[in-house]
A and B are shown apart, each in its own frame.
Chain A
Amino acid sequence: AQKVTQAQTEISVVEKEDVTLDCVYETRDTTYYLFWYKQPPSGELVFLIRRNSFDEQNEISGRYSWNFQKSTSSFNFTITASQVVDSAVYFCALSEGGSGNTGKLIFGQGTTLQVKP
């Protein structure tokens, strides 16, 4: 069965601190995709990153970095030097890419990040 677990419901940090959001997934497919989305207080879902199962290279984009480890089925997201504007709900999501899949995104429950000034 497919499942995405974000064990951290809420995280509160002070500005400039580094923070890591955890994501653990379950799937039986060998081909799958992992995503991170940001949902600010305004409500829209903002795409942050996509990672394919066949590409374990970690990625850095400015203050954001992602650590994908198939061995532990984890796809963790780190924000370096956090800022107040990073305050949002962050979702990790999984989509299976094998034949017969429906393209459905399986979302984790989300982690609410509060960055205090």
Chain B
Amino acid sequence: EAQVTQNPRYLITVTGKKLTVTCSQNMNHEYMSWYRQDPGLGLRQIYYSMNVEVTDKGDVPEGYKVSRKEKRNFPLILESPSPNQTSLYFCASSTTPFDRASYGYTFGSGTRLTVV
């Protein structure tokens, strides 16, 4: 089954304790991205990756890191989480935006993160 797998689904952590949210896709997609969803602010892009070893900042990258060492994985790293990073996070993958025939996003199930 074609899917994007995020883990964990729920996470409660303390301020300053490094954490990683994993994201893996099995569709051989080149493009992957992270979004966060907050009440009143909607969904906003954190980071994206056009291909392996190519990553760039989205609209709200502060406090986050990513890496794209292999095509299928795109982990989101919070080196020192703070309460304002409490949010619902989504990983997404797609073919490239230039592939008109098949362009479309598949989202993971989401990770609900609480930083206390």
| Interface residue ranges, A against B (CB under 8 Å) | 31, 33, 35, 37, 43-45, 47, 50, 52, 91, 95-97, 99, 101-105, 107-110
Contacts and interface: CB of A to CB of B under 8 A. Distances in A.
Given A103-B31, A104-B45, A108-B42, A52 B109 contact: no
A52 B94 CA distance: 15
Given A44-B109, A47-B104, A96-B97, 19 more contacts: A33-B97, A33-B103, A35-B105, A37-B107, A43-B110, A44-B110, A45-B110, A47-B106, A50-B103, A50-B104, A97-B100, A102-B58, A103-B31, A103-B94, A105-B35, A105-B105, A107-B42, A107-B43, A109-B42
Contacts of A107: 42-43
Q: For the complex, would chain A's binding face be called helix, strand, loop or mixed by DSSP majority?
A: loop
Contacts of B106: 47
Interface of B: 31, 33, 35, 42-43, 45, 48, 50, 56, 58-59, 88, 90, 92, 94, 96-98, 100, 103-110, 112
Contacts of B107: 37, 44-45, 47
Q: For the complex, would chain B's binding face be called helix, strand, loop or mixed by DSSP majority?
A: strand
A35 B104 contact: yes
A99 B104 CA distance: 17
Contacts of B56: 102
Nearest to A108: B42
Nearest to B95: A103
B22 to A, nearest CB: 17
Contacts of B109: 43-44
Contacts of B88: 43
Nearest to A39: B37
Nearest to A104: B45
Given A43-B88, A45-B110, A104 B48 contact: yes
B43 A91 contact: yes
B42 A102 contact: no
